[in-house]
Amino acid sequence: MQKTMTKRKSAGLSITRVFDAPVDLVWKAWTDPGYVKRWWGPKDFTAPFIMIDFRVGGKSLFCMRSPDGQEFWSTGIYREIVPEKRIVTTDSFSDEKGAIVPASFYGMTGVWPLELLVTLTFEEKNGKTTFTLVHEGMPPGEPSEQAKAGWNESLDKLETLLHDETQHREKNVLVIEPGKPASLTRIFDAPPERLFSAVTDPARIPLWWGPGNLTTIVDTMDARSGGSWRFIQRDADGNEYAFHGVYHEVSPRRIVQTLEFEGMPGHVQLEVITFEEVDGKTKMVDKSVIETPEDVEDEMLKSAMAEGWMETIDRLAELVEKKWREG
E strands of 146-239, at which residues?
Answer: 172-175, 182-188, 215-221, 228-234
Phi and psi based region of residue 153 (left: phi greater than 0; alpha: psi -120 to 50; beta: remaining): alpha
Which string of b and e fits 143-172 if b means at least 16 CB within 10 Å? bbeebbebbbebbbbbbebbeebbebeeeb
E strands of 148-297, at which residues?
Answer: 172-175, 182-188, 215-221, 228-234, 240-251, 254-261, 268-278, 281-289
> CB under 8 Å to 318, separation ≥6 — which residues?
208
- 3-class secondary-structure state, position 306: helix
Spatial CA neighbour of 314 closest among 203, 176, 188, 204: 188
CATH code, residues 4-171: 3.30.530.20
User: What is the amino acid identity at position 13?
Assistant: L
Q: At how many degrees (to 10) do helices 305-322 and 142-171 cross?
A: 60
N residues, the chain: 327
User: What is the amino acid identity at position 268?
Assistant: V
Stretch(es) of the chain classified as CATH 3.30.530.20 = 4-171, 176-322
pLDDT of residue 242: 96
Distance CA 109, CA 190 (A): 58
Spatial CA neighbour of 216 closest among 236, 237, 233, 199: 233
pLDDT of residue 307: 73
- 3-class secondary-structure state, position 43: coil
Distance CA 269, CA 280 (A): 31
pLDDT tens sequence across 122-168: 999 998 999 999 999 988 888 889 999 999 999 999 999 998 888 76
CATH code, residues 176-322: 3.30.530.20
> CB under 8 Å to 50, separation ≥6 — which residues?
33, 36, 37, 40, 61, 62, 63
Integer distance in angstroms from the first to the last C-alpha of the chain?
43
Distance CA 304, CA 33 (A): 8
> pLDDT of the chain along its 327 residues, tens only?
344 444 444 457 999 999 999 999 999 999 999 899 999 999 999 999 999 999 999 999 999 999 999 999 999 999 999 999 999 999 999 999 999 999 999 998 888 999 999 999 999 999 899 999 999 998 888 888 999 999 999 999 999 999 888 876 666 666 656 667 788 888 899 999 999 999 999 999 999 999 888 999 999 999 999 999 999 999 988 999 999 999 999 999 999 999 999 988 888 889 999 999 988 899 999 998 865 445 444 544 444 566 778 889 889 999 999 888 765
pLDDT of residue 184: 85
pLDDT of residue 174: 62
pLDDT tens sequence across 167-210: 766 666 666 566 677 888 888 999 999 999 999 999 999 999 99
